[in-house]
Structures are given as structure tokens and as C-alpha cells.
Structure 1
Amino acid sequence: MDVTSELRGASRLAAVQALYQMELSGQGAGDVVMQFRNKAFGYDGEKGYKAADEEFFEELVRGVVREQNDIDAKIAVRLNQKWRLSRLDTTLRAIMRAAVFELAYRVDVPAKVVIDEYVTLSMSFYDGPEPKFVNASLDNLARDVRASEFSA
């Protein structure tokens, strides 16, 4: 894994954590982004320092907030009729929203990379069936929003 991939992976994890925090606390994106930039990321050599692509992190968080209605609609289409997005665990909702933002709005990142990254990330939070749910849902969503990458 190259440095850019590692930094983006850390940014994705931080974005999911930030989205989770925002949903539970009601804080806005600007406040949470600043908290992460000032406390979670910090500076090299600082205690608790995490290396991340801070611009990518901010784009994910602000992008999910900006496009949340569209993102939620895309997710809802792929949920079982008996399920609503609100029934998903808060962490799972954050994972799905961040992933769908990347699939729909960051076409510079290949769909298969996005899916793999978020399935792996979901394994950090869940030991049960959730990673399989993330994989299947994102695979279907990717075929909706990036059909050209799967047509070959």
C-alpha cells in the first residue's frame, strides 16, 4: 500500500467517525472538521498524531452533508423493502453515506477501490454480517452510479 492509499484510508476512517459524531451530537460539519484537524490529526511527533489526507477527509465530510438527500435516496433504493435507512446502526449509516458519496461524486477513485476500502473499514467496527451487507449494497450501488466501470 502506498502512502497516498494509507493517508486516504485514515481519512475515510476519520470521516466515518466524524459523521457518526455529527449524527449523535447534532454538531455541524465545520465544527467537527475543525475538531478533527486540531485534535485527531495534529502534527507529526505530537502524542496521538494520526497521519491523514486532511483535505480528502474534509471533502468526504462536507460532501456527505451537502449531498445527503441524494446519497440517502441512493441507499434507500438498495435497501430491502422492510428496512429504512433510519433502522441501520449509526456507524453503518456513516459508512454507507461516505462510501456512496465517493461512488457518486469522486469518480477519480475506481469503484472497486471504494468498495474494498469501505468493506475493510466496516470490518474494523463489525464482526457479524455487516461487512457482507456493505459489500453487497455498495456493489449494487456502484453498478447504479458507475455502470461503465462494470460493463466490460
Structure 2
Amino acid sequence: MSQARTNARQAAVQALYQWQMSGHNLGEIERQFLEDGRLKDAQKSYFNELLFGIPKNLDTIDQLLAEFIDRPIDKIDPVERAILRIGVYELEHRPDMPYRVILNEGINLAKCFGADGSHKYVNGILDKVAQKKRANEVKRGKGAGSRTQDSE
């Protein structure tokens, strides 16, 4: 879709990271982001959807991730964990978004915020989740997991 939605995802990674590490109240984290101007160029409604929707659906998201990850969820790097949770949330709750866009955004978030090579890990996990949750779409799209220039 837009750069504003990409910016919302970037802010959500940072906010979810903060929530995971500190356990602070989500409303307080949202207030900090608004006050600091970190949502100036972001789609605020989408940031809120991710910030509040992911913790609300955390058990379902983490159960799905557990099927495909190679270690307990709490042992995954917290940045990668936040990115994976965003991707799984989108694959589950945003059928209006093409799975390739979700994977591409996850890869880009990992390249931006994650450790060297973390984008490959994120891509591999989200690709497997997409094959399970969006099987028909993946079959039609062929080449699941490959980076595309699709836009939202």
C-alpha cells in the first residue's frame, strides 16, 4: 500500500520490542511513540492495530510460530520475534494483504532492525506459515518466499 503503512510496521517492531523487553503497558508505549513524534509519517491506525492486536492474539500467534521455529519462542532474538509476530498476525488477520507483500515487509524489517542474515530466518519461517495459512494463495502465486516487487 503505502510508505505510511511500512513506517507503521517499523514503529510497531520497535514498540513490540519495547513491550517484550520491559512489559510496559501498551497504552504507555503508544503514548511515548506519539509524544516522541515517531508516528509522524506512519499510518497510526495500522500501528495501533499491530501494537494492540498482536498481544491480544499472542497465544495463537506463538502457537503457530512454534510449529516452524527451531527453538522456544522466548529464545528467538527479541527483534526477530517482534518481526515474526507481525508477519504471522498479518497472515492470519489481514487477508486483504497479499502474502508476498507480508513476506517482503518482514524481510525488509529484518534487514533494517535484525542481525546480519536474520532476514533469511524470518523469510524461511514466514514462508512456512504462509504455506499453511494461505495455501491456495501460495499455490496460485508460485515461488513462495521469493522476494518480489509487489506493493500493497
Q: TM-score range by the shorter chain?
A: 0.7 to 0.9
Consecutive unaligned residues of structure 1, counting only runs of 5 or more, are 43-49
Name the % identity: 35
> What is the 5 A alignment of 1:1-152?
4-41=1-38, 50-80=40-70, 83-152=71-140
Instruction: Indicate conservation of the 8 Å contact 2:80/2:114, yes or no.
Output: no
Moved more, 118-127 or 93-102: 118-127
Consecutive unaligned residues of structure 2, counting only runs of 5 or more, are 141-152
Instruction: Indicate conservation of the 8 Å contact 2:99/2:138, yes or no.
Output: no
Aligned partners of 1:127, 1:67: CA distance in 2, in Å?
26
Structure 1 residue 148, shift from structure 2 partner: 1.6
Aligned partners of 1:146, 1:28: CA distance in 2, in Å?
33
Superposition misfits of 4+ residues, deviation over 4 angstroms = none
Instruction: Indicate conservation of the 8 Å contact 1:72/1:97, yes or no.
Output: yes
CA RMSD across the alignment: 1.3
User: TM-score normalized by structure 2?
Assistant: 0.87
User: TM-score normalized by structure 1?
Assistant: 0.87
Structure 1 residue 128, shift from structure 2 partner: 2.2
